[in-house]
Structure 1
Amino acid sequence: MKQMKQYILFDLDGTIIDPKIGITSSVAYALNKFDIHVENLDNLCKFIGPPLKDSFIEYYNFSDEAAEKAILYYRERFQEKGIYENFLYENFEDMLISLKKQGKTLLIATSKPAVFAERILEHFNLRQYFDFVGGSNLDGTRANKAEVIFHVLKENSISDLSTAIMVGDRKHDIIGAKKAGLQSVGVLYGYGNYQELETSGADYIVKDVEELSTLLCS
């Protein structure tokens, strides 16, 4: 990395934690309310990362109204059970510790509602490493990743964009970073593939947490 980055923005789902069971099970629960039955939860992994409303509209042709109703059903299950049906990627906390020792400012930029992100980080005892948690609002506003990144930058008074970088696993993270004027790192251990990350314009692509740590801590 040509310049040491002081501010590191992290996506949450597919970057810090693997949320597959919680998200796909909650999406299946919501779809079931519309008499849509999905037996194989792997088919719902495409919901991990993008804003939920966009995914219900894109993949199931829901109207705006139906998509908003589906989100409410999703949250019925997610906020009670799904929020804890995930696991922390191996060695991720060790990397966070190393970054903090170097004096880095670590920030969350997720399309997930900020209140849920806070609860998940507390659950894994990771909240202590992050100076700020930025996410969407429960009313559906600020769900676009670029909007979230702009929000995080503004709230932390980051004006020199060359001092910050975005880390995520999907094209939405990379595209959002470019719109905000940030460099980005795409991670392959999440839910995006190499082609998706490269095509979106990721400045760096790493295969695992160890490689990510080497890049960010250098």
Structure 2
Amino acid sequence: MKNIVLFDLDGTLTDSSEGILNSICYMLEKQGLMIPDTETLHSFIGPPLGESLQELYELTEAESKKAVKLYRDHYAEYGIKQLTIYAGIDKALAELAKEYPLALATSKPEIFAKQILENTGLSGYFTGIFGADLIGGRSKKTDVIAYALKQSSATAGVMVGDRKFDIIGAKENRLMSIGVLYGFGDQQELIAAGADQIVARVDELPAAIKSSFK
């Protein structure tokens, strides 16, 4: 396969903040850990959860694994349903799917990502859904993107996402990158990470992606 368009999930296709943050707060309470301010809470969205817990709370690897399991158990039952699709995503994906193979590349566990795309009716636009595994062997965005490219037999493409992890992961896999401002990141973060393009609105995505392949 030639060119491929990879999409992040949380903050790019869906606003999943309610479900993620509710599950994080549940986990922190169960672990007897202080619930941080809103800005810090939102920083959990994007990077691998275990790494964030070890960094912010100085947990051991064993402690973070226990906390991640609490989070996932709660998220699987409740959080996975607490999200909305960003307005215009259906239209953008329908337009792009006519010209390019689309795939999902998310740090969310693959089993959850597949369920979310089925629940939201977006799965039909994608030729592949690729995410993290449940044992921590594939959790960083760079590794997920590499896995997606290998499974798709793609040699080039563009990564679309809202956080620096998407942009850095794209660069480390020699892909072009497009940062979106309607998600959980901000312009300063995306510029610092080296995004090739930055768009503010969903309806700007098709043109930005098409220009990446010129």
TM-score under structure 1 length normalisation: 0.92
One-letter amino acid matched to 1:83: I
What is the match of residue 140 of structure 2?
144
Matches within 5 A, 1:132-171: 132-159=128-155, 161=156, 164-171=157-164
CA shift, 1:213, in A, is 2.6
What is the match of residue 127 of structure 2?
131
One-letter amino acid matched to 2:32: D
- Distance in structure 1 (CA, Å) of the matches to 2:36 and 2:106: 28
One-letter amino acid matched to 1:98: E
One-letter amino acid matched to 1:201: G
What is the match of residue 10 of structure 1?
7
1:33 is paired with a residue whose SS is: helix
- Distance in structure 2 (CA, Å) of the matches to 1:75 and 1:112: 10
Matches within 5 A, 1:89-108: 89-101=86-98, 103-108=99-104
Contiguous gaps of at least 5 residues in structure 1: none
| 1:41/1:199 CA distance change after superposition, 3 Å | closer
% identical aligned pairs = 44
Structure 1 consecutive aligned stretches of length 4 or more whose deviation exceeds 3 Å: 39-43
Matched-pair contact (CA < 8 Å) for 1:25–1:41? no
CA shift, 1:80, in A, is 0.5
How many aligned residue pairs are there?
Answer: 210
2:90 is paired with a residue whose SS is: helix
Contiguous gaps of at least 5 residues in structure 2: none
What is the match of residue 202 of structure 1?
195
Please give the per-residue CA displacement for 1:97-122, whole angstroms capped at 9, x wherever unaligned. 11122x31000000111100000000
- Aligned alpha-carbon RMSD (Å): 1.5
- Distance in structure 2 (CA, Å) of the matches to 1:158 and 1:211: 24
CA shift, 1:138, in A, is 1.0
CA shift, 1:204, in A, is 0.3
CA shift, 1:216, in A, is 2.2
Matched-pair contact (CA < 8 Å) for 1:98–1:217? no
TM-score under structure 2 length normalisation: 0.94
Matched, 1:54 2:54: no
What is the match of residue 63 of structure 1?
60
One-letter amino acid matched to 1:116: F
What is the match of residue 189 of structure 1?
182
Please give the per-residue CA displacement for 1:163-209, whole angstroms capped at 9, x wherever unaligned. x1000000100001100011100001111111110010100011110
Matched-pair contact (CA < 8 Å) for 1:107–1:131? yes
